Amino acid sequence: MKWENLTADQLREAVKESNRTVVLPVSITEKHGHHLPLGTDTFINRVILNKAEEILPSMVVAPEVTFGQGGETMNGQGTIALPGELILALLEGICDELHRNGFEKILIADGHGGNEKCLPFFSQSMLTKRKPYVVFTVNTWYMTGEEEKALGDKYGWDDDPGHADRDETALVMAYDECLVHMDLYDPKEPHYFKGAEWMGENGIFSAVHWPMERETHVTGRPDLACRELGKELCNIHARHLARQVRLIQEDEKVMMRYRAFLESARFNGQ
């Protein structure tokens, strides 16, 4: 059930059918090498969510947020990197509106690796604001080690997955093959700058690490991508997502405990 496709009355019914659960897709608009479109993460999220909705028809999907944390690729043409505080304010405003429309369990479906730190932080920051809803987050590219191994054995291993790689290329092919330009892919593109490894090797994080090391915004083996792999990936990711949404839909304990938590966190005058 896509928010935009429903009538106002259908949405009211959807609140009940979904047990007050809504999925909010969040991604980014950014450069993905020379062979993939700027909307890569949005399209991947969309194709996975479409499949997940087939598996779980009670799933309600809010309008897509195509902006996220994009600082690391802002040296690439086409990236729209909003300031962090604006992203947090935007998400808060949207979640307030989702709640005003009757939803109290909000699952952010993250389609962009660069959001991996800011979305859980957003969920945490909602606690001190004592919001009357709970924000959950998942990465839509989740799969198990066994699933990953089976795909590697079948389609060839991507030695350094992460961006515009085998899987992202294959998933965009599954969404719309016309948007992938393998003729523009240069095998020398996955180029790694040497000299930044010491951070990762010593447990040090810096926002400059990713853009320093991955100068061309391409990692791994996009040349291994094919539409069949994209469809398999889409099915795997969608199965996990549908299960995650169903678990949240069925749960009653978290909201109950969250309300008790807020009550016990009140200033009691002592």
Binding site for Zn ion (CB under 5 A): 40-41
Sheet of 134-139: strand order equals: 21-26, 105-110, 134-139
Give the whole-angstrom CA distance, residue 157 versus residue 14.
Answer: 42
Residue nearest Zn ion, CB atom distance: 41
Residue from 171, 184, 188, 165 nearest 226 by CA: 171
Indicate the residue among 34 and 99 with the shorter CB distance to Zn ion. 34
Give the whole-angstrom CA distance, residue 108 versus residue 116.
Answer: 11
The phi and psi torsions of 200 (rounded to 5 degrees) equal -60, -40
The phi and psi torsions of 109 (rounded to 5 degrees) equal -95, 105
Indicate the residue among 3 and 175 with the shorter CB distance to Zn ion. 175
Shortest spacing between CB 150 and Zn ion, in angstroms: 23
Indicate the residue among 97 and 215 with the shorter CB distance to Zn ion. 215
Indicate the residue among 20 and 51 with the shorter CB distance to Zn ion. 51
Shortest spacing between CB 79 and Zn ion, in angstroms: 11
Shortest spacing between CB 123 and Zn ion, in angstroms: 21
Shortest spacing between CB 41 and Zn ion, in angstroms: 4
Residue from 111, 186, 97, 96 nearest 142 by CA: 111
Shortest spacing between CB 168 and Zn ion, in angstroms: 5
Indicate the residue among 45 and 249 with the shorter CB distance to Zn ion. 45
81, 84, 87, 88: CA torsion to nearest 10: 170
